[in-house]
Structure 1
Amino acid sequence: MNLPAAFFLRICAIAVLVPMAVTACKSESGQIDEAKMQAFGRSYTDAWSSQDPARVASHFAENGSLQINQDPPSMGRAALTATAATFMREIPDMVLSMDGLSAEGNQFIYRWTLRGTNTGPGGSGNRMNISGYEEWTMSPAGLILESKGHMDLDDYQRQLTANTAESSPALDAEQESIVAVVQAFFDTMASKDAVGAEPLLIPEGTFHSVRELDGKTVIRTFTNRSYLDELPGETPRFRERMWNPEVRIHGSVATLWTAYDFWKDGTFSHCGIDAFDLVKIDGHWKIAGGVYSADSDCDPSPLGPLNDVESEVP
């Protein structure tokens, strides 16, 4: 199986989904427009989740290249399209999430997490959850000229070949869409993106945290609105991971039950069970709230320890 080609970006322009119109991401004062950077990032991320490999390649310059670790680079849009097509064929339900964007020197860093199932030809059927990052150099036109990707290949191979006897049952498309909403909630938490999180939540909704301390049950309650207000000011770097989610749907009401672990600044904080309540409004699932246990000791996560790439989320 070919290794995943990358999910990356650099952000000095907004590219529409065809390589025609590119809007520079600098304002008249010459400052980088962070809103446009985020928009380009979302466009690029959506392209990798679209099952349209040409849409991925459209974010690159005509002579753009992509290299993962020490593998030979894919050079030019034809090669980039072929690389993306191979990866999409091997993980048909691939969903890419953008974990963060940052400028470092003359480059931009795009951090991503890939989730999906290896159900393509000869696939293992394993569910995948792998993170990485890309270092981007941009062309004068604002498209990706060179991408240098980094990911943990050992972790990727472990997930690819792991015994799946205890994996959760396969989810249908509607259930997967609910998993995607909850995962997007985790991703916006990691990047402290309250603007991106707001459409996922019903503002009046409520969460309850349940913790056992000294033989007593301690409950902490907060609203979705207070969460959104406080998120941008949080100092620690957060990473929440889930595995084997169970989803039940009845009309416009759904629940998602999953084991999870939670990390602060790359260090384990707590674990437990998340129980999300969701409502479908105007065709979109939104998180109404939920309840979660906050435990200090749980069964080991099948995702393994937090790797170096995951812990670097800004």
Structure 2
Amino acid sequence: MNRKVLFGALFGLFLLTPSLRAQDDVADIKKAIMTMFDGMRAGDSSMVHSVMKNDVIFQRVAKNREGKTVVQTSVFQNFLNAVGTPHDKVWDEQIEFGPIQVDGDMASAWTPFKFFLGGEFSHCGVNSFKLYRTEKGWKIFHLVDTSRKDNCAM
């Protein structure tokens, strides 16, 4: 009888292990994303860079002057320079975590946000993060967002 109990306990632990790892992955992914936003609030480009792939792709889906939807691509180094350049107003992007999906060493996270500049509302939208697992933790390799000034329920 003891063998059956032991086998059952070990089998149950075996079944739980992937679930526990997935929970750890989600926590680590959230930590990487929050590190980016904490770095933005602190004006610390090194903190932001610590969770980014060196050639991360930054994009925004937006309307151009003619009202057509376009995908705009930004240069990561320009973003880092802007974060690290002293500015009077705190950049405070407040997010909620939506779905986070993990498949092995790749993850996707959806985060609705509101952006405040020096405490004043600026805009809202959604971030879509793509991350990959490295020896040093999860890194962001693609970030695409939307931006608008209305319909900002979060």
TM-score, normalised via structure 1 length: 0.39
Q: Does 1:225 align with 2:68?
A: no
Deviation of residue 172 (structure 1)? Answer: 1.9
- 1:244 alignment partner, SS class: coil
CA deviation vs aligned residue, 1:217-258 (integer Å, no higher than 9, x gap): 243312333322332115232100111321111111111112
Query: What pairs up with 1:93-172 in 2 under 5 angstroms?
Result: 172=23
- 1:182 alignment partner, SS class: helix
- 8 Å Cα contact 2:95/2:113 also seen in 1: yes
How many matched pairs?
131
- 8 Å Cα contact 2:132/2:139 also seen in 1: yes
C-alpha distance in structure 2 between counterparts of 1:274 and 1:234, whole Å: 25
- 8 Å Cα contact 2:61/2:146 also seen in 1: yes
C-alpha distance in structure 1 between counterparts of 2:97 and 2:56, whole Å: 25
Work out the percentage of aligned pairs sharing the same amino acid: 24
CA deviation vs aligned residue, 1:16-46 (integer Å, no higher than 9, x gap): xxxxxxxxxxxxxxxxxxxxxxxxxxxxxxx
Q: Does 1:289 align with 2:137?
A: no
Higher RCO (CA-CA < 8 Å; seq separation 6+): 2
Letter in 2 for 1:196: M
Partner of 1:264: 117
Partner of 2:93: 240
Q: Does 1:192 align with 2:37?
A: no
- 8 Å Cα contact 2:97/2:109 also seen in 1: no
Tell me which protein shows more helix as a share of its residues. Answer: 2
Partner of 2:27: 176
1:279 equivalent among 118, 132, 139: 132
CA deviation vs aligned residue, 1:176-232 (integer Å, no higher than 9, x gap): 210111011001001110122221111111110122355322433123333223321
1:203 equivalent among 45, 54, 57: 54
C-alpha distance in structure 2 between counterparts of 1:223 and 1:256, whole Å: 21
- 2:96 alignment partner, SS class: strand
CA deviation vs aligned residue, 1:150-195 (integer Å, no higher than 9, x gap): xxxxxxxxxxxxxxxxxxxxx8221121011101100100111012
Query: What pairs up with 1:5-16 in 2 under 5 angstroms?
Result: none
| Aligned CA distance change for structure 1 residues 192 and 278 (closer, same or farther; 3 Å) | same
C-alpha distance in structure 2 between counterparts of 1:299 and 1:200, whole Å: 27
Deviates more, 1:273-282 or 1:226-235: 226-235
C-alpha distance in structure 2 between counterparts of 1:249 and 1:223, whole Å: 27
Uncovered stretches (5+) of structure 2, i.e. residues with no partner: 1-21
Uncovered stretches (5+) of structure 1, i.e. residues with no partner: 1-170, 302-314
C-alpha distance in structure 2 between counterparts of 1:237 and 1:218, whole Å: 29
